[in-house]
Structure 1
């Protein structure tokens, strides 16, 4: 089941299992059940007796299996095959159920243990979804720590009837006690905050009471994390604020053009960056959104510190700020798009493509991302219609040749999409018309994948620093804005190349510029002491 290299790696991990673990399987006569049984047998054989596979479970979903700490109520459950991106979730479940401690912050683990009530979570995932493991792993950990919490992770491709019945058209999708709890990526902090109403307020208070930073980085993608690494290595007190650490890396599959790294995946690179940043002592604050920058020159108390105001109400202060808030998916802004988001309208072909197996879908956008999405989806769905507003595709020639060679892909150019059509619960069509004018028509589709580029996330800087008409921060060659002590890097700036290595380079440059600014200016504390 597992290739030799992966099996060797897993065997090494399983030496960390402290408490005996049983894999209790509920199987039927299907081929998938046979594969699950083979996987569990192999895991047991690699564990040196620490893990055993016990058949004959009584779960309703088949195939499924529970990972149980022997003699206790501690367990997590998987329905289907947790391979692909979810294999890491399975490994972590084995280790944590087996007594290996989590590396999450102590106060966060205590908050999970302190949650009250009964919570039965179900998470639908796909093996190709790079966003799903964060949610699955968070809920698995919660179920291990708190006896009032149970969690089952469900491979939607193995249970298509459930997926259809419950309207699962985007993953991850989480149900709590039978009701929809959330869709899309959620961190452990975010889930705890939703279950514990006081958690957000306590966190905001904690952040509000932090001592000022010398450098505060806003953004956790390649630019922001690199900036934090560079300033921390200078011995500077550094904070990093991000809604989610990793930024667009978390939505990126294969990375094969980063120097010295032949191949990696976005989530893995994000995890490596976060580990490096935290290891340097940076104060990392995730699950937070910056809403406003108040520069030192406009700060009413005259402290000489820039202020970053957060959606939570907290205010962070710093002598220098590096804005690296990245970009987000550009939307169509047409009727029906918001209404049917995650009900047929989606932005991630890798995550949600398997949910549309055997169905008809549309991909909007003729650049590299759109054409690549159409090619990938063609191997999963029944039919793809690629729609491009311009009169010709903009993707690389090699991609265009490939997409035109596929028998189940139609390409429409010079075409405007005007409405996402739904039946009240899900997408049933896409209305489009010739860009040059003419009657519109409706394309019968079950899904619409939007791939039309990115928008910089710079609303929190509007009216403070100079922005282009497209919302990009105007910076000079040093990453400096027009405000002393405020720098910017990465995809939120006017930098022409939106690439991982380019973002990392600009983050390093902005950090070095911030360091240069600090050594040439006097800190507020030093100024007050000299007076």
Structure 2
């Protein structure tokens, strides 16, 4: 199952295992059980500290990774290949005693959790968001024996998926009840179960001194800005609601110059690590709610956060990015993650053999329709314009598929459901005005992005579309406040462009600082 190159790499990794590990396989007579047994046998052969035995868990096929002689362990129900292969390797290493790279504070926070926690995570092998959740909960179960976790391949355990009405991954259950959906990192999970964490964070933030440069947003533009500012030797901070931003939701990246192919989560992790290489105060899971400009030239700009704390800085760089644009029609919010989805790579496998729609005829929409057509029974693509806007090569591929219907000049007006899940949609023919109903189980929305700038209205100049107006240097309408990336008026929302704009904004902020006289210095003069 594993080729010789992979086996060689794993053998080297497994030399880091210091504690004996038991693989406990619960199998039936099916083909997937045979594949699992073959995989586990190959893993066992790579280290004398790993042993394999049979078990009898209710979920078959599944296997536990246990630290011998202890109650520390994790479980996978299904084959953790694809995006989850790294989760398997990390679990083996961590159960085997190899230390985590998480900060000492976070590790201590996990160890200090009281109570009993049984987590179940449903994933799909094509989901790039799922490994973050699986790896975070696996680590928690290794650090704290009161925490248990099983990662379940939703495509393999369809009965459970239907019983629990799961229509989006990752879907997390805690002690049998829904806990969360979508990408969540370790800090986000802790924030949900450790209710005092937000208040503690707020107190720490309140005690921070003013920054020379404060970056708001942790995507490519924000990371680039923070690195460039820190390299100038000035006090730099970065506050992000979700480090990595929209990149975390991006599947394949093939136009990032000098890197022929990478994936969003991998690039986001590299961005965060690069920022950590410098003296940057990283404040993750912090949502900005208000910008208060400096009262006088050379003064401090204030950014108020959702947790009640405030940060102050001599200059601020806004790089809050964008998010998926919604249809804003009746039923969309009600059935979000109950059939209405925004990531075909993540959630597509849950709709195997079903009928779905894709809303949007640009490159993203057509690519999604092509991808889904290989999984689902039928795809209806609905485009508002009179023609598709995707590249011609994609359109030719789409039109060649037998299970795709293309609707142009169509305006989606309503999402239909039975109270639990999507059952269809209604669209209007923009030419004749007739309404049409399409029966289906899933709707994938691919209609572009909207900037995350609502909190800036009335404070800074925005376009009617909500983009931050910037000049050639990244300067906004407020002195000392700069902006970069997808939230701005700069055309072409691309990762490589956002990085360049972030670095430019940091250089502009530094230039502003060296040419400005702080209020204290002006008063002393």
TM-score normalised according to structure 2 size? 0.98
Aligned equivalents of 1:333, 1:233: Cα separation in 2 = 43
2:288 counterpart residue number: 290
- Kindly state the Cα deviation for residue 10 of structure 1 after the two structures are TM-superposed: 2.4
1:45 counterpart residue number: 45
Aligned equivalents of 1:151, 1:68: Cα separation in 2 = 12
Could you tell me which runs of 5 or more consecutive residues in structure 2 were left unpaired when the two chains were aligned.
Answer: none
Aligned equivalents of 2:210, 2:88: Cα separation in 1 = 40
1:259 counterpart residue number: 257
Out of 201, 226, 229, the position equivalent to 1:231 is: 229
Aligned equivalents of 1:11, 1:254: Cα separation in 2 = 29
Deviation larger for 404-413 or 274-283:
274-283
Structure 2 residue matching 1:2: 3-state secondary structure: coil
Aligned equivalents of 2:27, 2:219: Cα separation in 1 = 42
2:7 counterpart residue number: 7
Does residue 1:425 correspond to 2:405, yes or no?
A: no
Q: How does 1:269-280 map to 2 (within 5 A)?
A: 269-280=267-278
Does residue 1:304 correspond to 2:302, yes or no?
A: no
2:463 counterpart residue number: 468
Out of 125, 129, 132, the position equivalent to 2:130 is: 132
Q: How does 1:98-113 map to 2 (within 5 A)?
A: 98-113=96-111
Check whether the contact 2:214–2:237 (CA below 8 A) recurs between aligned residues.
yes
- Kindly state the Cα deviation for residue 439 of structure 1 after the two structures are TM-superposed: 2.7
Render the CA deviation track for 1:284-337: whole Å, top value 9, x for unaligned.
Answer: 111111111111137xxx981111111111101111111000000000000000
Aligned equivalents of 1:52, 1:449: Cα separation in 2 = 44
Render the CA deviation track for 1:223-251: whole Å, top value 9, x for unaligned.
Answer: 11111111111112111111111111111
Render the CA deviation track for 1:422-443: whole Å, top value 9, x for unaligned.
Answer: 0010001011120124331210
Aligned equivalents of 1:209, 1:525: Cα separation in 2 = 20
- Kindly state the Cα deviation for residue 524 of structure 1 after the two structures are TM-superposed: 4.9
2:441 counterpart residue number: 446
1:154 counterpart residue number: 152
Check whether the contact 1:187–1:287 (CA below 8 A) recurs between aligned residues.
no
Aligned equivalents of 1:17, 1:230: Cα separation in 2 = 38
- Kindly state the Cα deviation for residue 525 of structure 1 after the two structures are TM-superposed: 5.7
Deviation larger for 5-14 or 111-120:
5-14
Deviation larger for 400-409 or 38-47:
38-47
Aligned equivalents of 2:18, 2:482: Cα separation in 1 = 48
- Kindly state the Cα deviation for residue 5 of structure 1 after the two structures are TM-superposed: 3.3
Does residue 1:144 correspond to 2:142, yes or no?
A: yes
- Kindly state the Cα deviation for residue 192 of structure 1 after the two structures are TM-superposed: 1.2
Check whether the contact 2:298–2:314 (CA below 8 A) recurs between aligned residues.
no
- Kindly state the Cα deviation for residue 481 of structure 1 after the two structures are TM-superposed: 0.7
Q: How does 1:45-444 map to 2 (within 5 A)?
A: 45-47=45-47, 49-54=48-53, 56-297=54-295, 304-444=299-439
Structure 1 residue matching 2:196: 3-state secondary structure: helix
TM-score normalised according to structure 1 size? 0.97
Aligned equivalents of 1:119, 1:304: Cα separation in 2 = 48
Structure 2 residue matching 1:410: 3-state secondary structure: strand
- Kindly state the Cα deviation for residue 50 of structure 1 after the two structures are TM-superposed: 2.1
- Kindly state the Cα deviation for residue 12 of structure 1 after the two structures are TM-superposed: 2.4
Check whether the contact 1:213–1:318 (CA below 8 A) recurs between aligned residues.
yes
Out of 482, 490, 501, the position equivalent to 2:485 is: 490
Check whether the contact 2:354–2:440 (CA below 8 A) recurs between aligned residues.
yes
Structure 2 residue matching 1:99: 3-state secondary structure: coil
Check whether the contact 1:364–1:387 (CA below 8 A) recurs between aligned residues.
yes
* Alignment RMSD: 1.4
Hey, which bits of structure 1, 4+ residues long, moved more than 4 A?
524-528
Aligned equivalents of 1:13, 1:229: Cα separation in 2 = 31
Structure 1 residue matching 2:486: 3-state secondary structure: helix
Aligned equivalents of 1:430, 1:28: Cα separation in 2 = 41
Aligned equivalents of 1:264, 1:479: Cα separation in 2 = 28
Check whether the contact 1:22–1:51 (CA below 8 A) recurs between aligned residues.
yes
Check whether the contact 1:363–1:385 (CA below 8 A) recurs between aligned residues.
yes
Render the CA deviation track for 1:347-379: whole Å, top value 9, x for unaligned.
Answer: 000000000000000000000000000000001
Aligned equivalents of 1:233, 1:490: Cα separation in 2 = 20
1:505 counterpart residue number: 500
Aligned length: 525
- Kindly state the Cα deviation for residue 468 of structure 1 after the two structures are TM-superposed: 0.4
- Kindly state the Cα deviation for residue 275 of structure 1 after the two structures are TM-superposed: 0.6
Structure 1 residue matching 2:28: 3-state secondary structure: coil
Could you tell me which runs of 5 or more consecutive residues in structure 1 were left unpaired when the two chains were aligned.
Answer: none
Distance 1:44 1:522, change over 3 A: farther
- Kindly state the Cα deviation for residue 6 of structure 1 after the two structures are TM-superposed: 3.0
Structure 1 residue matching 2:295: 3-state secondary structure: helix
Check whether the contact 2:124–2:347 (CA below 8 A) recurs between aligned residues.
yes
1:31 counterpart residue number: 31
Render the CA deviation track for 1:12-33: whole Å, top value 9, x for unaligned.
Answer: 2222211111111111111111
Aligned equivalents of 1:265, 1:8: Cα separation in 2 = 24
Structure 1 residue matching 2:367: 3-state secondary structure: helix
- Kindly state the Cα deviation for residue 83 of structure 1 after the two structures are TM-superposed: 1.2
- Kindly state the Cα deviation for residue 527 of structure 1 after the two structures are TM-superposed: 5.2
Structure 1 residue matching 2:38: 3-state secondary structure: helix
Aligned equivalents of 1:448, 1:7: Cα separation in 2 = 41
Check whether the contact 2:429–2:436 (CA below 8 A) recurs between aligned residues.
no
Structure 2 residue matching 1:492: 3-state secondary structure: coil
Aligned equivalents of 2:291, 2:42: Cα separation in 1 = 54
